Amino acid sequence: MVGRSSEPGTAGDIGVPSPSSSVAPEPDCPPPVRATAGLGVWLRDLVISLAISAFIIVFLYQPVKVEGTSMMPSLEDQERIFVNKFVYRLEPIERGDIVVFRYPYDPSKSYIKRVIAMAGDHIRIESGQVYVNGEALIETYVPAEYADRRSYPDTVVPENDYFVLGDHRSMSDDSRRFGPVNQSFIYGKAVFGYWPMEKVGRVK
């Protein structure tokens, strides 16, 4: 045992074990952690995180800001939402989807509207009431105060096109003016609101 012996002059006095002593080997000490190694790990994690975020934004989800009131009350001016840019590679566009598309008259601009009718559908609007294939459409997302009295003649939606309207009918520039939107212009589906906090949740 290492330490002071009870008898002076023995090897134990100076901390050197005598031949009869047994000494437990010291555990291996881990090498000191260098600051540069920690910085390298941090930078690696940062690069990986940025790469994953870039992949999500470019290929899957894109945060966008709603500008204007044409989709109230579903979406308000300056509301922030996520748009799924990949979903329509896996599933078809459906009636009721809120889609983001390039404005047909100026593709540098993006619009957001609701799909009301699809290719092959007959659509007409009589004093604000929408009819699809002869049946009146029940639109719970259009409160009475946002409705209008505009009409639109009976039209068959062309192949690969979609007839889109804003929920705020009296304030919306939509297919009633620029006609059905071709699928090639549609690049995403509004799926989730994240700001303001009271609007956090799935977009309906």
Contact 130, 147 (CB under 8 A): no
My answer on whether omega of the bond before 196 falls inside 30° of 0, hence cis, is yes
Query: What's the count of helices (H) and strands (E) in the chain, helices before strands?
Result: 2, 12
Distances (CA, A) of 137 to 20, 109, 125, 129, 142: 99, 29, 10, 7, 11
Host H or E run for residue 55? helix 35-55
Host H or E run for residue 49? helix 35-55
Catalytic residue among 74, 85, 113, 175: 113
Catalytic residue among 5, 6, 21, 70: 70
22 is an active site residue = no
Q: In DSSP terms, which residues pair with 113 in a beta bridge?
A: 99
108 is an active site residue = no
- What SS3 class is residue 10? coil
Distances (CA, A) of 125 to 93, 96, 128, 197: 22, 17, 6, 36
What positions carry a catalytic annotation? 70, 113
